[in-house]
Structure 1
Amino acid sequence: MKPAENGLSDHLTMRGLSRRFGSFTALDAVSLSIRKGEFVCLLGPSGCGKTTLLRLIAGLDLPDAGSIALQARDITRAAPAQRDYGIVFQSYALFPNLSVADNIAYGLKPRHERQRHRLRVRELLDMVGLPGAEDKYPAQLSGGQQQRVALARALATSPGLLLLDEPLSALDARVRDRLREELKGLQQRLGVTTLMVTHDQEEALAIADRVVVMNAGRIEQIGTPAEIYRQPCSRFVAEFVGEANWLPATTSGVQEVRVGNHQLRLDAALPPAPALQLFLRPEDVIIKPRWENAPNTVLARVDNISFGGALTRIRLLPEGMPGQVLYAEVCPGMLDRQPLVPGEIVPVELPAARLLAFAGDLPC
């Protein structure tokens, strides 16, 4: 069950946050609320403002306008030590001259309660999957192990808020995927409110309860991973998150468009513009076993087949749509049942329920 469905209160609230650096606006009146126990990802390209927002929340920088409240307490100008958070950086930021145990216990107080600290360190190392690593030093650990230590240190004081600044981006793909699953499982067990910055779409969609897509200092869309992927509310979100087919179209009816020689119907409403771009995910393109004179069905020539493991990518040249290309992604089971060869003509359905229309010309 999602935090929203539990009726939980807002844990962190930002209202009208702005930050400028000279003539450059890094954040432009950003407002966002995060519920207690929720895992939220800030997703966007470099320079979109996501790290600036994280720094404002952490007290590492101050806003030019707006406010930040943590559990209804105004922390906009509070010192970092007064904000009740733990933070993990991309670079791990471990002290190389301190042992793993001393790194983790660095923020624990009072300093003289060493036995209690040792027990807490042992508990945290068990939690992050590094039992018995107390006496090792950062240089003796792999990147994934160092990031586990950094996470344990961030959780040592049992903070109410966990901030993660691209914590997995410096790791290789296999370690990153494993740590991503472990991080999500740990967050769910502890119930700690978590805000993570990432530019990795797959990471955000896999790990977050909600995703906040940012662009040019503003929030483009907030939603569940499924909502962001399936129902992008802007052209930017549709282009930035995932792969897509784009087809130029013109309005020809209330929910009908024309693409080349073909009339297509959409379940979704059309924007009020004569020139449109149709959006369709490759996995939603349906290659049919036989021709049927059905709505939104066209003939296409199989141009190329690229094996990709779990999914095979098919490049299609639709007839009656000069110069256009469609990509379909299909599972191996479909190809076992319906083998395809380059040059073959196949019927293709563009489902009305999956088509979306955006105003304007071709995406960048």
Structure 2
Amino acid sequence: MKEKRGIIIGGAIIGFLAVLSVYFGNPKNMGICIACFIRDIAGGLGLHNAKVVQYIRPEILGMILGAFGIAVYKKEFSTRGGSSAFLRFILGGMVMIGALVFLGCPTRMVLRLAGGDFNAIFGIVGFAVGIVIGIVFLNKGFTLKRNYKQTKLEGYVLPIINVILFVLVAMGSTLLIFSKEGPGSNHSPVWFALIVGLVVGVICQRTRLCMVGGIRDMILFKDSYLIWGFIAMLLAAFIGNLIFGFFNPGFAKQPVAHTEWVWNFLGMVVAGWGSVLLGGCPMRQLVLSGEGNVDSVITVLGMLIGAAFCHNFKLASSPEGATPNGKIAVILCFVVLGAISYFSIPKSSNVKNKVKGEVTVD
């Protein structure tokens, strides 16, 4: 347990900070949500016209900058890339489609449950099933190939862009779009949100916190290290919700959620399957991008465009439920994920004994 102390404390801090973020203005059960926040950023940049979800979320900027800063300080910053970039872009987009049909990333899935939203249970089961499907292909030798050392400049570009975006949002620049109503208009103070993001970025970089990795490692290697971080996050957020009076158990009338359990389940199957092929959940991709992993930057861009695509083509769910277009998109994602998984298996026969080296989160 001693070696798990850091990730348990880190997960608990993240869970409590998420509840504090709600207290200071973020939407309920959405103190931290990578999918929802990237969707808001897409709207804030004018990539979609859903007026209720347009805001440059400082938490996302802070996570990348926090991971970047601590990686540089610890001499762990290393610019690498070139591993199946376009496939990673597509996978990032599909992870976002699945998450927005469910209405939340793996982190929000945990936070929704901590707030009493029992619809998240179907998401958690679906997410685990998606990871199991991905593991089947990992065991058969699935790989997106190796990456290569890149120039340092490539690793610095995203952090620089994040600094510029934060300055613009802090100034209330008219170059950006700000929601005047709906979830996008609900946010904590800019500097508080940035600090939350910085702290989360540092914690995740040091502990390698990743829900995909946690479930995957439990199944493949019986290693519970990573999953303890999310257990701690769940418990801390649950306690925080009780303290602030946010806990509201049940299925109906949950904030920014719907009760169509089949699509909650299937949406997160897509998110889990895509994430395990990518080697990490959306939060982990942000942290890796801050460490200089250009492949993760491509994945994040895929999620950004995927979020815009979801709202431009009415794929994202609403509290009324999954849309017809969203349901069709989820089914198509299964087909595409199956094709990518199958055709990314090397034709050479004996690869099973390499599984642990192939699937370790970067």
Name the TM-score class by shorter chain.
under 0.3
Structure with the bigger RCO (C-alpha within 8 Å, sep 6+) is 2
TM-score by structure 1 length? 0.22
**Greater share of residues in helix:** 2
Larger-Rg structure: 1
**Greater share of residues in strand:** 1
